[in-house]
Structure 1
Amino acid sequence: MDMHVHALSLSSPLLLFVIVFSQFAVPSTSSLDSFIYVGCSQLKYSPGTAYESNVNSILSSIVNSASISNFNNFKISLPGSAPGDVVYGLFQCRGDLSNSDCHDCVSNAVTRLGASCGGASGGALQLEGCFVRYDNTSFLGVEDKTVVSDKCGPSIGDYSDLLSRRDAVLAYLAAGGQFFRVSGSGRVQGVAQCVQDLSVGECQDCLSEAIERLKSQCGSSAWGDMFLGKCYARYSERGYSSKSENDDEVEKTLAIFLGLIAGVAILIVFLSFLSKLFDSNKGAAGK
């Protein structure tokens, strides 16, 4: 291998780019593939090297493992590899996904990671339903509270009921004990998750940081996302699906349209009843 490979740090200048998109979505094949962020090392490995073989092997192992588990981590060093050629990697699916959905999400994530970070010594990619990362220096079991993606929705102003519900949802997420947590209060729902290579205590520490940052930065926002290196916390005042404003307008228009149809139908039935009643009375009067 004719170059030195450095570890990927999601907070280091080695990142070529980090792209952010944050929006909850209902569990479906398309929404689980919604892009959130990607980070790639600027340093490249040479084609045909042992390191490339190890990267390909670990990504293949990640995809295969995702069909039977929602989390796994790997250390790959194929025969002929030097100590510096070792590759570490992991994947994590959202805690409510089936094995089939997890596999599909991870497979898509690995494909996107290859397209975005082709030849990079390290890379990490987060989709709506799953997370994949690889590197030449072990990050497994290492807590990482670096902010890699954060986004807040529009302000809802001083809407005390929604803000109180938001705070209750985040308080429950912060007080949990599981790696995957879901909470809801009325229209406000939230979700939080840690990468499972952390201990329960490290997970709690990471989520506490994410939730504090979320409350601080998003304030009175209708929804908010906070992704740290090894955990994330999210909430939405429109529920877990967090539909777009256009979706809401379409639903409102559809509801009005259906209401008008129902009203016309009732009017027709009522007029038909009156007509029959009038005809009946007219017939009785004519006898």
Structure 2
Amino acid sequence: MFFVTPSISAADTLVFGGCSQLKFTSGSPYEYTVDSIFTSLVNSAMFATYNNFTMPVAALGGSTTQDTVYGLFQCRGDLNNGACNRCVAKAVSQIGTLCFDSTGGVLQLEGCLVKYDNVSFIGEEDKTVVEKKCGPSLSAYSEGLGRRDAVLSYLEAGDGTYKPYRVGGSGKLQGVAQCVGDLDPRECQDCLSDAIGRLKTECGAAKWGDMYMGKCYVRYSEGRDLSDAGKGKRFRHLFHGGSSYLFLVYIWVGFNLLEIY
């Protein structure tokens, strides 16, 4: 028997963030365009759980340059419009600090994703692993493993209709999966299937596991609120050397963000 226990708590908890290594000049037309993208993302989040924007960079005199800024946001499927808007506003505020003067950036909070760049990524499938976390082992608890596999299979198969946001559970084990809204049904299914396969392989018999890819994520937990996974975590740690994005280590202290490299 599957049941759904969605929660909107901890929606503004940081999961990961990364920034392009390319920089733009402060006060330049590119910066104004990025600010316009951010404003559009926040405003749109009052009415939708996903949207994307493409804006050419205006040069002096009103003409356009060859640069374009692309941006999107994605809210967790159980958030209402007010919670989605608050989450995106928080993400935009944080990415503006985290990726100051960067031509691109991505920030995933528990409740929403925000991304922008000068290279088009909208409509492109991305199965790059950007965050993976595994809990302690279930040991030889075969019943728990059976429930986990059943929940993950349910998330992978869905109910026969296309749903980019999926939740399910069995006993104390909960699962959630979601694709970014720019993927078509085939790409979404491909991303989720790959994430589920990697989650089973790389987290083994863990009591909980999170697998975040560029355009989808899958999470499961035995007796842990999935929305509380990041509580108490002060350190972020990702670095992908082969990517154009630099994922740095930060400490969140009150309202200040301190880089500790």
Match of 2:187 among 197, 202, 207: 202
CA RMSD of aligned residues (A): 1.8
The correspondence for 1:171, drawn from 141, 149, 153, is 153
User: Which residue is equivalent to 2:136?
Assistant: 154
Range moving further from structure 2, 135-144 or 80-89: 80-89
SS of corresponding position for 1:63? helix
Greater share of residues in helix = 1
What is the CA–CA distance in structure 2 between the aligned matches of 1:202 and 1:166, rounded to whole Å? Answer: 24
Instruction: Give the alignment partner of residue 71 of structure 1, picking from 50, 66, 85.
Output: 50
Greater relative contact order, per chain length (Cα 8 Å cut-off, separation 6+): 2
Q: Matches of 2:82 and 2:63 in 1, distance apart?
A: 33
1:53-107 deviations in Å (ceiling 9; x for gaps): 1100001100110011100000012543544321000000000100000000000
Indicate yes or no: 2:174 matched with 1:192: no
Cα distance in 1 between the residues matched to 2:223 and 2:63: 51
> Are 1:132 and 2:102 an aligned pair?
no
The answer to whether the Cα contact below 8 Å between 2:168 and 2:175 also exists between their aligned partners in 1 is yes
Higher strand share: 2
Give the match's secondary structure for 1:32. Answer: coil
Taking the aligned partners of 1:243 and 1:184, their CA distance within structure 2 comes to 17
Going from structure 1 to structure 2, the CA distance change for 1:111 and 1:51 (only over 3 Å counts) comes to same
The structure-2 alpha-carbon separation of the partners of 1:224 and 1:75, relative to structure 1 and needing over 3 Å to count, comes to same
The answer (yes or no) to whether the contact 1:51–1:81 under 8 Å persists in 2 is: no
Unmatched tracts of structure 2, length 5 or more: 1-5, 233-261
Contact 1:84–1:136 under 8 Å retained in 2: no
1:72·1:91 contact (CA, 8 Å) conserved in 2? Answer: yes
Deviations 1:208-237 (A, max 9, x none): 000000000011101000000000000000
Q: Which moved more, 1:161-170 or 1:69-78?
A: 69-78
Q: Mapping of 1:101-116 within 5 angstroms?
A: 101-116=83-98
Residue 132 of structure 1: SS of its match in structure 2? strand
The aligned amino acid for 1:61 is S
What's 1:41 paired with?
20
Note the 1:1-287 alignment, pairs <5 A.
Answer: 26-28=7-9, 31-77=10-56, 79=58, 80=62, 82-176=64-158, 177-241=162-226
Contact 2:106 2:113 in 1 (8 A): yes
In the alignment, the residues of structure 1 paired with residue 143 and residue 199 of structure 2 have an alpha-carbon distance, to the nearest angstrom, of 18
Q: Which range moves more in the overlay, 83-92 or 63-72?
A: 83-92
**Per the alignment, do residues 223 and 45 of structure 1 end up closer, same or farther by CA in structure 2, a change over 3 Å counting?**
same
User: Separation in 1 of the partners of 2:68 and 2:24?
Assistant: 13
- Provide Cα deviations, 1:13-62, integer angstroms capped at 9, x if missing partner: xxxxxxxxxxxx9412xx00111000101111001211111100001100
Task: Classify 1:149/1:50 alpha carbon distance in 2 versus 1 (closer, same or farther; 3 Å).
Answer: same
Q: Measure, in 2, the Cα distance between the counterparts of 1:108 and 1:158.
A: 42
What TM-score comes out, normalization by structure 1 length? Answer: 0.73
TM-score, with structure 2 as normaliser = 0.81
Please tell me the residue identity of whatever aligns with 2:180.
Answer: V
Secondary structure, aligned partner of 1:203: helix
Q: Which residue in 2 is equivalent to 1:269?
A: none
Cα distance in 1 for partners of 2:103, 2:227 equals 35
Inter-partner Cα distance in structure 2 for 1:242 and 1:52: 33
Residue segments in structure 1 that go unaligned for 5+ positions in a row = 1-24, 248-287
Aligned residues between the structures:
220
